[in-house]
Every structure is written in structure tokens, then in C-alpha cells.
């Protein structure tokens, strides 16, 4: 095809000449580090579970995770760096995300913008994301192109070329992204403020995209320093899900990523400050003339996957579902259906973090119903759960749904790559996914009571109130 010729001009493809090689320095993450290893390895499971994953570590420290799945002849290729907004130096919020944008510019082999152009030309999709804990780059492409995308990701892992001209333009792009995601939306502004109030000491309190005044002042040198510090093979995980064989992917990975030099000493991380004891419930009020529908928000500091009893994590995953996860949930049935005081209600439990998790609840009061009424009723429900727990029917329904989610998750290569990649990067392995249904089945009503007593402590919470600004606005200037 003609397009292949065109690509070769800009990105000469070396033919792969793989020889049978001896496995060297392959560490298999087969040793569980979790406190609970007493779960039987679910020998007689009827249901279809998350697929198996294979993990290897190259000599230079790069970790490879392979999740074979041959539904379609395609692959999802994801490179995760264990670097996110919490790793940013003080005063440089937004640099991890800014660097993520710069990764699509010039590299040793590619000119500005060529990365995405080649992917599109090969019929693939690509994008990237930044979170508090991780930065990730992915491509979804036909399986023969895995060689190509690995080569390109390996190139930009160690040969990014950062220039002032591109940095300045991209800084404006990122400021527009912040406008779109945050500053145009009163609810997003409130959530940002709540996060800052929830964490008293930990950088989780900073927005991933960065504070506007700090984004504006980021420099090319900041980007270079962050790249140098965190973008290296021993700080990266390559995840491949799709129609592949693990051993073949390992060979390809060695070929493309194996030669990237690891740094002489391990990544120097700024030690993350721990949260002090939280002693006061906090409240954040945000008023904006644009708000038509007032909304109530509550966030609690919650267990994260690394530093707490794993039973708590699964109890809270289950509780999240039971509390407001569906239309049959407690809060929806009580507040939206039976008492008719709320228009909508939702909860979420964010646990896949290096540090603390967050358990959040939000509710939209019906016109004329006060925040106080909403808050009182939600707290009454929480108190009831802390004391009496949940019913066995609720528990069983939640388990059915959470276990069935494993089958549906298998349909998307990209989803699987993200899921596994995040678990390996943050929890160290995929034990929890491999035993997902086992852990879910083990959740008891007592577990839920115990976990909810740990989490639902108003002293470690922030409540947010989003309301319409009704006062006459001060004139600008």
C-alpha cells in the first residue's frame, strides 16, 4: 500500500529479526503482598472472570503486562508512568499534564505532530491522560502494528525534544483545556475547591490540570526536569491487551524498550506528606449566577488500595453500589422515589490511588427543599448503615452486579489495558482483579458496618454547596 512507503520516509521501519533468546532477568510478580491470602483460589467458578495477565520485568527495570484476548485481531498498547500530579514540585502544579501534551511534539525520530499522524495513518486511535498518580499514553490499533507503536513509545520515552516555541503554544492550549473543564463550569470549580479542602497536607488536594496561575508560569525547564526525573524504563509499565501471545510480546518489548538505559539510581521521589489527623468537618460554599440547579456534595477521606485492610476496600465497593449506585439503591429509593425530596443522587468510591481514597455522595434537591433536609436524611441513612449495616438482599444484589461486571469488562481491549495497567502500577500486581469475584463474594454485612464506621466520620469530610448567586454582581473593574 502506498501509505507504507510514505511512512518509511519519516519513520523507517526496521524489520524484526528476533532470535530465540534466553530469558534473562524476568521477575514475575507472582508473590502476593496482600494481607489476605486466605481466599481459596475459586476453583469452581461458574462465572466468567477477568482474563489472566502476565507480568515481566526487563533488565532495565521496565515492567510489561500482557492480557491476551482474541476477540478481534487488534491490540491496546498502553504505557503508564508512575508519575502524576502528586509528584509535581511545589508551585509547579500542572506540569505532569503539560508534559503529557508535549509528548506529542518532537522526538529523536519524529517531527512535531508526527506521532499521532502515523497512528491515524495506520488506522489506529491514540490519546493520553494524566491523573494524580499516573500518566498514560495509549494506542488502539490492529495487531500487526504493535511493533510500530512500541517503537514509537520507546522513542519518546527517552528521546523527547522539548522546544520553547512548542511549549509556549501548548501552554495556551492547556489553559483553554482548563477553561473548558473547570472555569466554564461552576460545579467543576466547586469540586476543585472541595478537593483542596479535603486534603490538608497531601498533594491530592491540587487539581491534576493545575491551578491557573501556576499553569501560566510553567516553563520549558520545568517540563524538562519532570521528564528527566520520571520518564525512564524502571518507572514505566507497558501494558498490551489483545490478540497476542505473551512470549511474543515480551520479545518485542525487549527489542524496543530493552535498550533504553535505566537511570543510575532509582527515581528520586519527593516524599509525599501524610495527612495529619483531621479534626474538623469542613464546608465549601460556591455561588455562581449561572447555577440553575443547586447541588449538594459530600466527600470523605477513605481507604486507598495500598494502605488499608483489603476487606474494607471490597466492603466499600459493595456499599457504594448499595448506597446510590443504581435506581434500586437505598438513597435513590428513599430520597428520590419515596420521600421525593431529591431529583437525583449518586455515590462513587475512588480507591485505586497510591495514597488515600475518596468516598463521595452528591444529591440534587427538589425545588424548595433545603440543603439541610437533604443533608439530614443522608446522614440518617449513613448512621443506620453504621449501626445496622445493610440487608442480605441488598448485599446479594450488589454481588450479582459486581461479579457480572467482569464479563462485560472483557469486551473492550482498551478498558482491560487501563484496568490492569492501573492495578499493576498502583497496587503492584493484579491479585485483586484475579480474585475479584472471590473478594466480592466474601463481603459480609459486618465488613460493611466496620468499613462504613471507618469512612463515615464527619471530621474527615468536606461538604460542598453549589448555589445560584442571587446578589447583584459587582461590576467588573
Partner 1 sequence: MMSLYRLLILLPLIALTIAPQTSLAEWAEVKEIRTNSDHTVWFMEDDFLPIVSVSISFTRAGYAHDPEGKQGLAVLATSLLDEGAGEYDSLAFKTKLEALATNISFSVSEDSVFITLETLTEHFDEAIELLSLALTSPQFSTNSVERIRRQLIASIERNRENPSYLASRLLDSHLFAGHPYSKAKLGTKESLNAITREDLQQYISKHFTQKNIAVSVAGAIKKKRLLKRLDGLIANLAPESLNQPLPEVTLNTSSMTLREEYPVPQSTVLFALPGYKREHPDYMTAYLLNYILGGGSFQSRLVQRIREDNGLVYSTYSYLSYNDASGILAGYAGTQNENVDKVINLIKEEIELLATNGVTQDELQLAKNYIIQSFPLKLTRNRNLSSMIGRMQLDKLGTDYLNRREEEFKKITLEDVNRVAKSLLDSNQLLFVVVGGKADYAFDPKQ
Residues in 118-137 that interact with partner 1 by CB under 8 A: 120-125
Q: Does 26 bind partner 1 (CB under 8 A)?
A: yes
Of these residues, 100, 106, 153, 170, which one is catalytic? Answer: 100
Q: What are phi and psi of 441, to 5 degrees?
A: -60, -30
Q: How far separated are the first and last CA of the chain, in Å rounded?
A: 61
For the segment 59-78, give every residue that binds partner 1 (CB under 8 A).
Answer: 71-74
Q: Of 83-91, 259-267, 361-369, 439-447, which segment contacts partner 1 by CB under 8 A?
A: 361-369
Cα 324 to Cα 219, 264, 347, 381, 394: the distances in Å are 43, 49, 5, 11, 12
CB of 12 to partner 1, least distance (A): 16
- Interaction residues for partner 1, span 139-158 (CB under 8 A): 140-144, 147
Assess 279 for contact with partner 1 (CB under 8 A): no
Decide if 100 is catalytic. Answer: yes
Site for partner 1 in 288-327 (CB under 8 A): 289-293, 326-327
| Contact flag: residue 472 with partner 1 (CB under 8 A) | no
| Touching partner 1, residues 199-218 (CB under 8 A) | none
Among residues 88, 153, 170, 320, the one that binds partner 1 under rule CB under 8 A: 170
- Our finding on whether 464 is near partner 1 (CB under 8 A) is no
Residue 109 found at the interface with partner 1 (CB under 8 A): no
Count of chain residues binding partner 1 (CB under 8 A): 101
- List alpha helices for 92-139, DSSP H: 95-102, 114-121
Which of residues 36, 128, 162, 177 is near partner 1 by CB under 8 A?
177
Rounded to the nearest 5°, which phi and psi values hold at 373?
A: -60, -45
Q: Is 32 a residue that touches partner 1 (CB under 8 A)?
A: yes
3-state secondary structure of 282: strand
d(CA 171, CA 220): 10
Which residue in this structure is represented by grid cell 476487606?
A: 311
Q: In terms of CB distance, is 127 or 229 closer to partner 1?
A: 127
Q: How far is CA 386 from CA 156, 236, 254, 444, in A?
A: 50, 41, 51, 14
Nearer to partner 1 by C-beta: 148 or 302?
Answer: 148
186 binds partner 1 (CB under 8 A): yes
- Please choose, out of 114-122, 150-158, 352-360, 450-458, the segment that lies near partner 1 by the rule CB under 8 A: 114-122
Quote the least distance from Cβ 408 to partner 1, whole Å: 7
> Which residue in this structure is represented by grid cell 503482598?
33
Nearer to partner 1, 242 or 355 (CB): 242
> Dihedrals φ, ψ of 136, to 5°?
-135, 150
| Contact set for partner 1, span 220-249 (CB under 8 A) | 245-248
Question: Which of 411, 446, 453, 459 forms a contact with partner 1 (CB under 8 A)?
Answer: 411
**Closer to partner 1 at the Cβ: 87 or 406?**
406
Q: Which residues contact 136 (CB under 8 A, 6 or more apart)?
A: 78, 79, 80, 81, 128, 129, 130, 418, 421
List all residues 6 or more positions away from 89 whose beta carbon is below 8 Å from its beta carbon. Answer: 95, 222, 225, 270
Q: Minimum Å distance from CB 410 to partner 1?
A: 6
Phi and psi for 324 in degrees, rounded to 5? Answer: -150, 25
**Of residues 104, 296, 359, 418, which one binds partner 1 by CB under 8 A?**
104
- The pair phi, psi for residue 257, each rounded to 5°, is -100, -20
From residue 357, how far is each of 94, 392, 395, 460 by CA, in Å? 21, 26, 22, 12
Phi/psi at 203 (5° precision): -65, -5
Say whether residue 113 binds partner 1 (CB under 8 A).
yes
Task: CB nearer to partner 1: give 35 or 228.
Answer: 35
The binder of partner 1 chosen from 11, 49, 50, 54 (CB under 8 A): 54
Q: Which residues are catalytic?
A: 100
Amino acid at each position: 500500500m502506498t501509505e507504507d512507503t510514505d511512512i518509511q520516509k519519516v519513520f523507517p521501519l526496521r524489520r524484526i529479526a528476533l532470535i530465540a533468546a534466553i530469558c534473562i532477568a524476568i521477575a514475575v510478580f507472582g508473590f502476593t503482598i496482600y494481607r489476605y491470602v486466605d481466599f481459596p483460589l475459586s476453583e469452581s467458578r461458574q462465572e466468567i472472570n477477568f482474563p489472566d495477565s502476565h507480568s515481566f520485568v526487563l533488565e532495565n527495570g521496565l515492567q510489561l503486562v500482557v492480557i491476551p484476548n482474541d476477540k478481534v485481531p487488534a491490540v491496546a498498547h498502553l504505557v503508564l508512568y508512575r508519575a502524576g500530579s502528586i509528584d509535581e514540585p511545589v508551585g509547579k502544579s500542572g506540569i505532569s499534564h503539560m508534559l503529557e501534551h508535549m509528548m506529542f511534539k518532537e522526538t529523536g525520530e519524529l517531527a512535531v505532530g508526527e506521532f499521532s499522524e502515523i497512528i491515524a495513518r495506520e488506522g489506529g486511535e491514540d490519546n493520553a491522560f494524566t491523573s494524580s498518580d499516573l500518566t498514560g499514553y495509549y494506542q488502539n490499533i490492529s495487531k500487526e502494528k504493535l511493533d510500530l507503536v512500541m517503537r514509537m513509545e520507546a522513542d519518546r520515552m527517552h528521546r523527547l525534544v522539548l522546544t520553547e516555541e512548542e511549549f509556549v503554544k501548548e501552554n495556551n492550549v492547556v489553559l483553554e483545556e482548563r477553561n473548558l473543564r473547570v472555569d466554564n463550569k461552576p460545579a467543576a470549580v466547586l469540586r476543585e475547591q472541595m478537593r483542596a479542602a479535603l486534603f490538608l497536607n497531601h498533594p491530592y488536594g491540587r487539581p491534576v490540570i493545575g491551578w491557573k496561575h501556576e499553569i501560566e508560569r510553567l516553563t520549558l525547564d520545568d517540563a524538562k526536569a519532570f521528564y528527566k526525573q520520571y520518564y525512564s524504563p524502571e518507572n514505566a509499565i507497558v501494558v498490551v491487551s489483545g490478540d497476542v501471545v505473551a512470549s511474543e510480546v515480551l520479545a518485542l518489548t525487549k527489542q524496543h524498550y530493552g535498550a533504553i538505559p535505566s537511570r543510575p539510581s532509582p527515581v528520586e521521589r519527593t516524599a509525599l506528606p501524610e495527612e495529619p489527623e483531621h479534626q474538623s468537618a469542613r464546608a465549601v460554599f460556591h455561588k455562581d449566577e449561572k447555577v440553575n440547579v443547586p447541588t449538594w456534595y459530600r466527600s470523605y477521606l477513605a481507604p486507598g488500595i495500598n494502605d488499608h485492610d483489603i476487606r474494607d476496600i471490597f466492603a466499600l465497593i459493595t456499599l457504594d453500589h448499595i448506597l446510590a449506585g443504581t435506581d434500586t439503591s437505598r438513597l435513590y429509593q428513599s430520597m428520590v422515589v419515596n420521600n421525593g425530596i431529591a431529583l437525583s443522587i449518586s455515590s462513587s468510591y475512588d480507591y485505586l490511588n497510591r495514597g488515600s481514597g475518596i468516598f463521595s455522595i452528591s444529591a440534587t434537591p427538589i425545588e424548595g427543599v433545603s440543603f439541610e433536609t437533604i443533608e439530614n436524611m443522608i446522614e440518617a441513612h449513613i448512621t443506620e448503615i453504621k449501626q445496622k449495616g445493610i440487608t442480605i438482599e441488598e448485599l446479594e444484589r450488589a454481588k450479582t452486579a459486581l461479579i457480572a461486571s467482569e464479563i462485560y469488562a472483557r469486551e473492550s481491549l482498551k478498558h482491560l489495558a487501563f484496568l490492569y495497567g492501573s492495578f499493576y502500577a498502583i497496587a503492584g500486581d493484579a491479585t485483586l482483579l484475579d480474585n475479584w469475584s472471590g473478594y466480592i463474594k466474601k463481603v459480609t454485612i459486618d465488613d460493611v458496618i466496620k468499613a462504613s464506621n471507618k469512612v463515615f466520620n464527619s471530621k474527615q469530610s468536606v461538604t460542598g454547596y453549589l448555589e445560584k448567586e442571587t446578589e447583584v454582581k459587582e461590576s467588573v473593574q
